[in-house]
Amino acid sequence: MTRADGAAPEDRAPTAALPALTAQLGQNKYLAAGSGTVPAHAVLTVEGHGLAGLTTHASSAEVVVIDCSGSMSWPSTKIAAARKAAAAAIGVLRDGTRFALVEGTDKARVVYPATGRMAVAGPDTRADAARTAHTLVAAGGTAIASWLACARDLLTADGQDHPIRHALLLTDGRNEHDRPDELERVLADCAGKFTCDARGIGDQWAATELREIAGRLHGIADAVEHDSGLEAEFRRMMRKAMDKSLPGIRIRVRLRVGSELGFFKQVFPTELDLTQEGVRTGERTWEFPTGAWGDESRDYHLCVTADPAGDPMGEDMQLASVALVAEGAGDHPAETVVSVPRPVPLLVHWTDDPVLSTRIDPRVARYSGYADLGRAVNAGCEAFEAGHLGTAEEEWGRAVRLAHELGDEKMLRRLRRLVEVEDAAEGRVRLRDEITAGDLNSAWVVSNHSTQTRRPGAPPRAARPPHEPG
């Protein structure tokens, strides 16, 4: 059964002591019977409850990569902030975590530990590494692919199995000193081996490049808006990484005969198309890896095709089921440390009533609105770089309107650095006379970010039909 708003009943965290995962599916099950094969859309919300308190924390490994190219010395606040940020991140490491600090220039160099391998976090090693971080010097080029390759080697060749592997990357530049195709090659090799959060500082980094790195490595990219805020940001990111205690969750989608997979995307906290990462484990079954989890919430947009042939009118029929598969750590099977919900159904109910079939589930509508917002921001940035200022103003005006409808204050704040907003609700804006590369990057890099509504049954702010798979 579904609720009145079309969402499957929520599997709430049980009262037992086990930490738990919950899953909730939001959809409008009513589809038009006379339309032939049509797409069915749903948003899956997965949440972790009590995972940070797991007594059997999975083994973790962390690499902090700091851009130490010559440009980091101008202004000097950049390298000073980077030193403090690296030390702050190291200070948050949980005892027993394997870690390393990497200096990134036209090559990668492990500056801590001196062995060039991985240290084990404890009071002494954290203090030693923090002292090393404060000695970082800005001199050299920028070869981000080499830095990522170094992080990969450290995280995968340490001689021990670390189910949770993560890197923090800071840069103020572009991947200029590697071969043209090297970054793509390295990213392809790193994908699935570790996750990476990336931050850009200053004006000269490339938003699209940083977002590609974070996207391929299932992390989040963002801009450092003020050098003075970098220390707190690195501390926050490392705390979030340390909260990860479940090595992984796979989302299993099992389709009925006659239905096909359209796409499967993460849509919160960032948009990330996972369709091609799905592993076919049966004739009608796919599993999508989602990486390590802590106490957090993520949303996923699932689209499958629905064919009315052979289905009765006016009855709930199951198109697919969605299940969570938790991955254990070492000798601790997942089912012994975390409670997993029952599979949730994706339903179809064929109807001739256009009022029912034209409804859009609020969460599906919200993330469709975010897809439109991202396209508008990207189109405006591309137009501005090409010198098409009228198009940039038009697209950013559309982005302002959508961000206003979605209540996304962070995006509105970034867009206001590009345009003067005369009427946010109407999207009426004027291009600013002076726009820096940093202003452009700060909006561009978060064009795939989203915010999550905490009231699934609330009316949508941006009720636009979702784009169909192409």
Select from 85, 43, 114 the least CA-distant residue to 450: 43
pLDDT at 331 (0 to 100): 52
Residue 427 has pLDDT above 70, yes or no: yes
Contacts of 155 (CB under 8 A, 6+ apart): 61, 63, 162, 165, 167, 193, 194
| 135: exposed, middle or buried (Cβ count in 10 Å: 0-12, 13-18, 19+) | exposed
- Identify the CATH assignment for 60-242 out of 3.30.565.10, 3.40.1080.10, 3.40.50.410, 3.30.1330.50: 3.40.50.410
Return the higher-pLDDT residue of 321 and 59: 321
Give the confidence band of 138 by pLDDT, cuts at 50, 70, 90.
very high
How far is the C-alpha of 70 from the C-alpha of 133, rounded, in Å? 17
Q: Strand, coil or helix: what is 263? A: strand
Q: Say if 20-47+246-353 and 363-444 have the same CATH topology.
A: no
Tokens for 335, please give them: 């089912």
Long-range contacts (CB closer than 8 Å, 24 or more residues apart) made by 393-398:
393/419, 393/429, 393/430, 393/431, 396/429, 396/431, 397/427, 397/428, 397/429, 398/372, 398/427
Per-residue pLDDT tens digits for 13-38: 444 467 999 999 999 999 999 889 99
Q: Strand, coil or helix: what is 389? A: helix
Tokens for 357, please give them: 């079939």
Mean pLDDT for the stretch of residues 425-436:
98
Domain segments of the chain: what residues?
Answer: 20-47+246-353, 60-242, 363-444
Just give the CATH number of 20-47+246-353.
Answer: 2.60.40.3670
Per-residue pLDDT tens digits for 269-281: 999 999 999 999 9
Just give the CATH number of 363-444.
Answer: 1.20.120.1690
pLDDT at 160 (0 to 100): 63
Q: Centre a 10 Å sphere on the Cβ of residue 189 and count the other Cβ atoms it contains.
A: 12
Q: Which helix (H) or strand (E) holds 190?
A: helix 182-190
Give the confidence band of 373 by pLDDT, cuts at 50, 70, 90.
very high
- What are the beta bridge partners of residue 101? 64, 112
Per-residue pLDDT tens digits for 74-87: 999 999 999 999 99
Query: CA angle, corner 295, sides to 290 and 298, nearest 5?
Result: 45
- For residues 86 and 101, the answer to whether their CB atoms sit within 8 Å is yes
Give the confidence band of 177 by pLDDT, cuts at 50, 70, 90.
confident
Q: Which helix (H) or strand (E) holds 439?
A: helix 437-444
User: Angle of helix 437-444 relative to helix 362-385, nearest 10 degrees?
Assistant: 160
Mean pLDDT of the chain: 91
Per-residue pLDDT tens digits for 337-372: 789 999 999 999 999 999 999 999 999 999 999 999
